[in-house]
Amino acid sequence: MPRVGRIRDVLRIGLRLVAFERRVVIAYALREDRLDILRVLYRGRDAESLLSEAEGDA
C-alpha cells in the first residue's frame, strides 16, 4: 500500500500526504527501491512552506 495518500506534486515532485489518526500528516515520496518519509507534521502546520522544493532535496 505505498501509493496511498494525496499526491502533492505542486509542492514537490513525487510527494504524497497521508493522514494518520486524525492528528498527524505523514509526508513521503516513493523512490525506485524505497519509500522516504520526509516529514511527520501535526495538523495545522503549514505543509506548503515546510515541504516546498526550495527547502531541500526533491
Q: Which amino acid type is present at position 55?
A: E
The overall pTM is greater than 0.75:
no
Tell me if 16 is assigned to some domain: yes
Tell me if 54 is assigned to some domain: no
Question: What is the spatial distance between Cα 57 and Cα 1, in angstroms, rounded to a whole number?
Answer: 24
- Residue by residue, pLDDT tens for the chain (58 residues) are 567 788 887 777 888 888 888 888 888 988 888 889 988 888 777 677 776 654 554 4
Domain count, the chain: 1
Tell me if 20 is assigned to some domain: yes
Boundaries of domain holding 16: 6-46
Cα dihedral 2, 7, 26, 50 sign: positive
Tell me if 1 is assigned to some domain: no
